[in-house]
Structure 1
Amino acid sequence: MFDGGTVFALATCTGPGLDPVAFNAVLAAAADAFARAVVHGILAAGGAGGYRTYADVFPSAVQEWRR
């Protein structure tokens, strides 16, 4: 609720403000989108400098995702 990015995104709208229930729904959707983006980044990451990635350690966990 106090994330600056969310406040900025909502502040650029020209329509009326959201009621608290709708505002919380927007925040929940933003949190879900962020969580999915983090997971996708972890699954898509490649190793560097000899460090192994999640996909290197758990290849069967990412087989389905990488299709």
Structure 2
Amino acid sequence: MKLNSKGQVTIPAQLRAELDLREGDEVDVVLKDGDLIIVTSSAQPTRGRQLVDRMRGRADAGLTTDELMALTRGE
């Protein structure tokens, strides 16, 4: 990998796929025993948590929880 003029590197696509890293994911660069190591950010919520946070409060407020569950089950 080559460091560009802005101090950035590109993580190869194969590694991004193996680690399930996607655009917008946050990573940290840490120094350990003289080596730089890229790690997923512990402060970043999981994708599941991000989805729940985005969806929270978007359901039709006129439906009860039981009615919403029935819709998701196809009842």
Same fold (TM > 0.5): no
Query: Which structure shows the higher helix fraction?
Result: 1
| Structure showing greater Rg | 2
TM normalised by structure 1 equals: 0.30
TM normalised by structure 2 equals: 0.28
